[in-house]
């Protein structure tokens, strides 16, 4: 079964910590995405990568960075976590054409205290 795997389901971090959220896909997809999901705000795109080492800012990149050193792995980095980054984070992957849709991971619920 093809998969997008997010390394943690639940994470609790302290304000100011550097936080890494990891995502791995086994479908050889070119595109990978990081979204955050908050009540009433739907899905908001943080960053998008269309190839190894290539990235593009989404709608809300402030306070985040990403790394894609290998095709299968896409990491989201919170340089200095803040309480307003408490959220559900969703990773997705796809072929280059979104016509085929996305495959999502199970999500990481991050709480920053």
Partner 1 sequence: GDSVTQMEGPVTLSEEAFLTINCTYTATGYPSLFWYVQYPGEGLQLLLKATKADDKGSNKGFEATYRKETTSFHLEKGSVQVSDSAVYFCALSPIQGAQKLVFGQGTRLTINP
Positions in the binding site for partner 1 (CB under 8 A):
4, 6, 9, 31, 33, 41-43, 45, 48, 50, 90, 92, 94, 96-99, 101-107, 109
37 vs 67, which CB is nearer to partner 1?
A: 37
Least distance (Å) between residue 103 CB and partner 1: 8
Q: Is the CB of residue 106 less than 8 Å from the CB of residue 9?
A: yes
73 vs 109, which CB is nearer to partner 1?
A: 109
49 vs 85, which CB is nearer to partner 1?
A: 49
33 vs 64, which CB is nearer to partner 1?
A: 33
- SS3 for the chain, per residue? CCCEEECCCEEEECCCCCEEEEEEECCCCCEEEEEEEECCCEEEEEEEEEECCEEEECCCCCCEEEEEEECCEEEEEECCCCHHHCEEEEEEEECCCHHHCCEECCCEEEEEC
Least distance (Å) between residue 113 CB and partner 1: 20
Least distance (Å) between residue 97 CB and partner 1: 6
Q: In this structure, what token pair is assigned to residue 63?
A: 């306070």
């Amino acid at each position: 079964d093809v998969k997008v795997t997010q390394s943690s389901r639940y994470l609790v971090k302290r304000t100011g910590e550097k936080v890494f959220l990891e995502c791995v896909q086994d479908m050889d997809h070119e595109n990978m995405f990081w979204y955050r999901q908050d009540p009433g705000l739907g899905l908001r795109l943080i960053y998008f990568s269309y190839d190894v080492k290539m990235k593009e800012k989404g709608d809300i990149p402030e306070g985040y960075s990403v790394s894609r050193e290998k095709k299968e792995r896409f990491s989201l980095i919170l340089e200095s976590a803040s309480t307003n980054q408490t959220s559900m984070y969703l990773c997705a992957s796809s072929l280059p054409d979104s016509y085929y849709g996305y495959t999502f991971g199970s999500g990481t619920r991050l709480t920053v205290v």
